């Protein structure tokens, strides 16, 4: 009777462990199938020798080769290798995650940008998830070049530039006009305060007609003359370029004075004996 019961226990235990191993195998297969369907680049590598132990199909499709057995630094651009190496060497149980961006060299010698997250899952094993960001990186570089170029152009222009909405609020500006603080509205800027209502009307006209509008004004305190040009810059905003035209006004005044003097001299010669 005891032998029969013991045999039953052994049989039940064997069945349980068999069922458990089968369940774990199914779970591993399910996990593996999920990993292999991912578009992200997924690697497993050894912390001992930095060699790849697993690479999902997305990695194979990108590199056109099985990276298993290769050192993870072998495809990283030399410029970034030392920086990446220092980060990965720092992986330990107290700091089990590392993220970085680097350049990689593909078999066709093209350079791609990738972002990688590495996770230390055991003292000797690391799992890594990567994403190719080459297209986004190139777009960012292009935008940065345009921004730098536009900034250089703006810095080289002697005019003050303001983006103003329909209500006279400053959205953005690059001012060369004398100012003691940052102003938020036309009426706060001493230079514009006397003509703020006229400028607000011009803003409405500019937005309604989508045509360039100009206005000249002066600052009596500094005896300085300005010209403001307003052009549409969006549905409810205009760009206002303000230029110091004092030299031009002074030249015009001198020219007028000389012309008047010449006219007086001609009259004197004509009427005086």
User: For the segment 213-235, what is each residue's pLDDT rounded down to a tens digit?
Assistant: 999 988 878 888 889 999 998 88
H-only helix segments in 38-126: 57-63, 78-89
Residue 47 has a pLDDT of: 92
pLDDT higher at 4 or 105? 105
Domain coordinates in residue numbering, the chain: 33-156, 157-252
For 100-108, the CB contacts below 8 A with 24+ separation are 101/133, 102/76, 102/77, 103/76, 103/77, 103/79, 104/75, 104/76, 104/77, 105/75, 105/76, 105/77, 106/62, 106/63, 106/64, 106/75, 107/63, 107/64, 107/65
Q: Enter the CATH code of domain 33-156.
A: 3.30.450.20
Supply the mean pLDDT for the chain. Answer: 79
What pLDDT does residue 33 have?
A: 53
How high is the pLDDT of residue 13? 40
Mean pLDDT comparison of 17-21, 30-34, 73-77, 260-264, highest-scoring range: 73-77
pTM flag (> 0.75): no
Top-tier CATH class for 157-252? alpha beta
What was the pLDDT predicted at 17?
Answer: 42
Over the range 148-173, which residues count as b (16 or more CB within 10 Å of their CB) and which as e?
eeeeeeeeeeebbbbbbbeebebeeb
Lowest mean pLDDT among 30-39, 193-202, 259-268: 30-39
């Amino acid at each position: 009777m005891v032998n029969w019961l013991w045999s039953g226990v052994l049989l039940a235990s064997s069945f349980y462990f068999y069922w458990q191993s089968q369940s774990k195998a199914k779970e591993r297969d399910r996990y593996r199938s999920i990993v292999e369907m991912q578009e992200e680049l997924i690697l497993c590598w050894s912390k001992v020798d930095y060699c790849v132990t697993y690479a999902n199909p997305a990695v194979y499709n990108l590199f056109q080769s099985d990276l298993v057995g290769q050192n993870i630094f072998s495809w990283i651009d030399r410029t970034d290798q030392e920086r990446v190496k220092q980060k990965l060497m720092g992986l330990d149980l107290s700091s089990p995650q590392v993220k970085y961006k680097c350049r990689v060299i593909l078999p066709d010698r093209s350079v791609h940008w990738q972002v990688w997250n590495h996770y230390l899952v055991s003292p000797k094993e690391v799992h890594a998830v990567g994403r190719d960001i080459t297209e986004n990186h190139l777009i960012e570089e292009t935008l940065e070049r345009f921004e730098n170029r536009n900034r250089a152009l703006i810095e080289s222009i002697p005019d003050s530039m303001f983006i103003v909405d329909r209500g006279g609020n400053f959205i953005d500006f690059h001012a060369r006009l004398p100012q003691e603080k940052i102003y938020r509205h036309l009426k706060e800027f001493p230079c514009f305060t006397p003509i703020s209502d006229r400028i607000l009307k011009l803003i409405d006209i500019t937005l309604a007609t989508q045509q360039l509008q100009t206005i000249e004004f002066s600052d009596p305190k500094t005896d300085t003359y300005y010209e403001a040009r307003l052009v549409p810059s969006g549905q409810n905003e205009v760009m206002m370029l303000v230029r110091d035209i004092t030299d031009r006004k002074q030249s015009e005044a001198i020219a007028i004075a000389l012309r008047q003097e010449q006219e007086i001299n001609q009259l004197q010669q004509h009427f005086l004996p």
